[in-house]
Structure 1
Amino acid sequence: MSAFARLKLFRPILAGATLRDRLFAALGALAGIALTALISAVAARHTPELIWIVPPMGASAVLLFAVPASPMAQPWPVIGGNVISALVGVAIAHVLPLSALSAGLAVGGAIALMSILRCLHPPGGAAALVGLFAGASSSYFFPLVPVGLNAAILVASAYLYHRVSGHAFPHVAPAPAAAPLAPAPFAFSRADMDATLAEIGETYDISPGDLETVLRAVERRALARAYHAITCRELMTEPVITVPVFASVEEARRLLVARDVRRLAVVDDAGRLAGAIGLPELVGAQGVVVTAASPAAAAAPDSPAMDLLRRFAQDRVHAVFVVDTDRRPIGVITEADWLAVLARGLK
């Protein structure tokens, strides 16, 4: 293996990790642990025999500051996981002597209880051993002070830090973008994702909501790339067939039939898009066009044409008018235009 290849082994393995984030995480952990130790030491000044900061806080800091989106780095897992695990360790110490068996029972029991109480936190395993090593001489108050106090201060420090760093904490998964086309066979469902996770049989350090959000974003990017990220300007047909707002409905009806189109752009005296009209609006209509026109679907020339698919599929839009900055129609995109693109993609 070359020296360059060996160096690659030390690249960050976390998805989305950047050098900037890692450096800021190190600074955040420095401040968080220092603040936790300082406040805890002040609180313990009248009881010098009390440990003022426990080792599991170092591992908790890694999660809180380096991977704040992890389900195991949220406030309840950090505080509850450490306190509950330390309590298990202390309880084992009160009924069994220190041994290999008691150590295994402490960590195994902590994992089981954290899982049941939905506060699984890796440093909890260390907290269980700390409680065990504190021994039967320690009281059941030990899981609260210093363990619980340490954890609460550290979580508060992480909250303040992430207000500055720009990361959401406590983490809330953003709502996943809907599939580009709901009925399309290539769009996965939440049931598909759950079934795939069950089939793989592995546990990943990401919430289902975050995983779905990531997969939806990847799906949209892949689909956009497959169709070359077409813009509305590239797909539109021109010129646009327009009708003035004060034209008669009979004139609009004749124009629709003569040009064999489904929608006409209704424009005002300045040529700006004021609405749209088709045969459905003209049924039984009388007078001028403006009284029968409906709101027009519009898009900017450089906006992704992919964004129009949902409007065609779900909003029942038959034509989207491409408008300039003054809202004058410069082109039109219909369902037929997109069908032609899709047909080319299937060749």
Structure 2
Amino acid sequence: MARLKLFRPILAGANLRDRLLACIGALVGIVLTGLICGLAASDTQHLLWLVPPMGASAVLLFAVPASPMAQPWPTIGGNTISALIGLVVAHNMPISALAAGIAVGGAIGVMSLLRCLHPPGGAAALVGLFAGASSSYAFPILPVGLNAAVLVGCAWIYHRYSGHSFPHVAAAPPPTAKELPWTFSKADLAAALAQTGETFDIDVNDLERLLREIEQRTLARSYRDLDCADLMSRGVISVRLSTPPEEARALLVRHDVRRLPVLDKAGGVAGVIGLRELAGSGASLRELMTPAATASPQTPAIGLLDRFARDRVHAVFIVDDACRPIGVVTEADWLAVLTRGLA
């Protein structure tokens, strides 16, 4: 079993299925790139018109498509620009170890400035250098740029069916309540990255989404045994559809609550009313009320946090099977629980 660990993927989130599919994708991508580009070769001997850096680009495009360095612009721009830099060096100084260092170092600098850093670009710079002063300045376009463009096209088609997004766009992080003490901000994330002094091969938005998911899972685990029945306050003050708006307003002020459930003839929650709604024009509560936020007593209490944060509700009414109110959970109730947990 210890030997098998040596063959486990070292990348976070990698699995055997994705690696096998990446092998197939790279195989097809390189074959198609070589054949398509071979058709553009002026020399009929170049039936396979490929430059070596495309092998390294294929690893990124098919195995780690979410990497910022595997996106279309870094792949095409990084290879093409680096090959150009290597060619410029070859036209201006003899090929030597120093020339190779200047080509690769210059390629890294220019790729960084143009936001197209791509590891195979270092190899493309050496390809341009070794192409020599006898090569024309069209070399970075044909074959290097054409190779990269065709390979990116193959990756785009492949990932339509692989289940991965390409070009990669980071999904929006789950919503959080900013006022809660356990959340972090983007400024905290930026400060932490600056403090580490390291460069990570992950988009900042992907990193934020991952940390938000971890944050919510950790919180859910901490409060997994708490449901709405444990958290709710009983003795809900309510009004009927037939209650005059003036009476509802008086109840809100007298009991210092923000929302009252409006009950129908069967006692079920038909809507909710607050001072904001009562300030509008309307002759009855039916005309003024808004939809109520409800949940069952068995609902995990952690599930209400998103509703407070995303839907901006101030109270969730806990109802029985007949939709009759038996309790209410407010933002203050949850903050009190979090405060006890953090004390």
Give TM class, smaller chain: 0.7 to 0.9
2:113 maps to amino acid: I
The alpha-carbon deviation at position 259 of structure 1 amounts to 8.8
**Matched residue, 2:122:** 125
Q: Deviations over 1:12-69 (max 9, x none)?
A: 1211111111111111111111111111122226442687011111100000011111
Q: Deviations over 1:215-261 (max 9, x none)?
A: 12212222222222644355345575544312455776798799997
CA distance in 1, matches of 2:102, 2:151: 27
**Matched residue, 1:151:** 148
**Matched residue, 1:195:** 191
Q: Is residue 2:237 matched to residue 1:226?
A: no
**Matched residue, 1:97:** 94
- Residues 325 and 159 of structure 1: CA distance in aligned 2, closer, same or farther (over 3 Å): farther
- Residues 315 and 46 of structure 1: CA distance in aligned 2, closer, same or farther (over 3 Å): closer
Determine if contact 1:249/1:285 at 8 Å carries over to the other structure: no
1:187 maps to amino acid: T
CA distance in 2, matches of 1:313, 1:153: 45
Determine if contact 2:38/2:46 at 8 Å carries over to the other structure: no
CA distance in 2, matches of 1:285, 1:93: 79
Aligned length: 343
Q: Deviations over 1:69-95 (max 9, x none)?
A: 111000010001111111111122222
SS at match of 1:209: helix
Deviates more, 1:285-294 or 1:59-68: 285-294
1:193 maps to amino acid: L
- Residues 72 and 10 of structure 1: CA distance in aligned 2, closer, same or farther (over 3 Å): same
CA distance in 1, matches of 2:36, 2:188: 48
- Residues 172 and 317 of structure 1: CA distance in aligned 2, closer, same or farther (over 3 Å): closer
The alpha-carbon deviation at position 167 of structure 1 amounts to 1.0
The alpha-carbon deviation at position 171 of structure 1 amounts to 0.7
Deviates more, 1:154-163 or 1:45-54: 45-54
CA distance in 2, matches of 1:325, 1:161: 49
The alpha-carbon deviation at position 184 of structure 1 amounts to 3.0
CA distance in 2, matches of 1:287, 1:138: 85
State the TM-score, normalizing by the size of structure 1: 0.85
- Residues 98 and 331 of structure 1: CA distance in aligned 2, closer, same or farther (over 3 Å): same
**Matched residue, 1:23:** 20
CA distance in 1, matches of 2:13, 2:298: 29
Matching residue within 269, 273, 276 for 2:272 = 276
CA RMSD after TM alignment: 3.3
**Matched residue, 2:317:** 321
Deviates more, 1:253-262 or 1:220-229: 253-262
CA distance in 2, matches of 1:259, 1:185: 28
CA distance in 1, matches of 2:138, 2:173: 43
**Matched residue, 1:246:** 242
Matching residue within 76, 81, 84 for 2:81 = 84
Task: Return 5+ residue gaps in structure 1 as ranges.
Answer: none
Determine if contact 1:51/1:146 at 8 Å carries over to the other structure: no
SS at match of 2:211: helix
1:222 maps to amino acid: T
Deviates more, 1:211-220 or 1:154-163: 211-220
The alpha-carbon deviation at position 335 of structure 1 amounts to 3.9
CA distance in 1, matches of 2:92, 2:256: 88
**Matched residue, 2:61:** 64
SS at match of 2:49: coil
State the TM-score, normalizing by the size of structure 2: 0.86
The alpha-carbon deviation at position 342 of structure 1 amounts to 2.6
SS at match of 2:89: helix
The alpha-carbon deviation at position 150 of structure 1 amounts to 0.8
Identical aligned residues as a percent: 65
SS at match of 2:126: helix
